[in-house]
Amino acid sequence: MTATSAGGLVIRYADGLPQLVAGRRRRDRDGVTWTLPKGTPHPGETTQETALREVTEETGLEVEILGPAGFIEYTFVQNGTRIHKRVHYFVMRATGGDLARHDHEFDEVRWVGLADLNDLLTFETERALVARAAASLEALDQ
3-class SS letters over 32-51? EEEECCEECCCCCCCHHHHH
Let me know: does 38 contact 45? Beta carbons within 8 Å: no
Distance CA 69, CA 53 (A): 17
Model pLDDT, residue 75: 92
How is domain 2-139 classified at the CATH fold level? Nucleoside Triphosphate Pyrophosphohydrolase (3.90.79)
Model pLDDT, residue 140: 57
Model pLDDT, residue 138: 59
Residues 6+ apart with CB under 8 A from 12: 18, 19, 93, 94, 111, 141
> What pTM, to 2 d.p., does this model score?
0.90
Task: Delimit the domains of the chain by residue range.
Answer: 2-139
Count Cβ atoms below 10 Å from residue 2 Cβ, excluding itself. Answer: 9
With a cut of 50, list the residues of the chain below it in pLDDT.
141-142
Model pLDDT, residue 30: 64
Let me know: does 133 contact 79? Beta carbons within 8 Å: no
